[in-house]
Copies of this chain bind each other. A is one copy, B any other.
């Protein structure tokens, strides 16, 4: 990329303070800015960097008061963070887009392939699989028989989609993620061995879902494991069979959701959280990192800890927990004092 301050100001509808011909070729955080980079200032906490950064151009909010000498060229915009995100999007789009079918790849003659797709080398597309328009199937991806990948979705290298699973439009799935492996279902036999319950359902991922790397989403025993529209998953997450995750729910890294649990919409599930099986979580629920939840939660609850409690109660209990050794000592002292009081009476 190579942009002048003038071009950036035009694109972001901003006003330039400084040199309109200043050139940037890369982007940076304001605290790591180097000559030739573009940065932004949105959080007032970082104001000091505005006067010291080596970044050549900095985007700031229109209503921000400049209180020092500037080394850099500044562009004033309505919302520096949004303007910067738009520029990041523009920058990301400048990466040449993958197109065409690389060889060797394996496309079953009974698969249906849409228009303008990218299919990387060593990708495998099974019998009856359906690939939409503008889909990007990176190298070493596996798409099982009768699976369906809808328009504009990106599957990064090494994603595995088992047979019969459906991935919606405009999804992004990162490397190493496995969609549709068997759910964990066994029946113990009288001799203590386990008999496998065949897992004959599938996984349905709706539109606009993003899933990180090395995630596992198991297929349903019967019916479907469902990830609703707009949900966002970080890395190394486990989703058990017949789970349902609601719209726009965010799940942070290394969290796990056990079988048949239903999570509502607009929830935030923190890192390393565990949700037990067959639990119902409402909408707008927030679950703090490393929590363990084995009960239903109502709309709007915020919980924390393992086992999880209402967050404000948990925080109070955590504070007292720290002073347990002092409490225990005090209790022993009081015991003695009471004994002595009793003697005196």
Q: Footprint of B on A, CB under 8 Å?
A: 27-29, 32, 81-82, 85, 88-89, 91-92, 95, 102, 104, 106, 120-122, 124, 138-140, 142, 144, 156-158, 160, 162-163, 172, 174-176, 178, 181-182, 184, 186-187, 192-198, 200, 208, 210, 212-214, 216, 218, 221-223, 230, 232, 234-236, 238, 240, 247-248, 250, 252-254, 256, 258, 265-266, 271-272, 274, 276, 289-290, 292, 294, 306-307, 309, 313, 316-325, 327-328, 330-331, 334-335, 337-338, 341-342, 344-345
Contacts and interface: CB of A to CB of B under 8 A. Distances in A.
Contact of A122 (B124, B272, B309, B331): B124
The winner among A121, A271, A342 for most chain B CB atoms within 10 A is A271
9 contacts: A85-B198, A104-B104, A174-B182, A184-B212, A186-B250, A192-B266, A214-B214, A313-B325, A320-B324
A175 B178 contact: yes
Contact of A292 (B138, B196, B289): B289
A88 B212 contact: no
Contacts of A271: 238, 256, 258, 274
A144 B136 CA distance: 14
A181 B253 contact: no
B235 A218 contact: yes
Q: How many copies does the complex hold?
A: 3
B322 A309 contact: yes
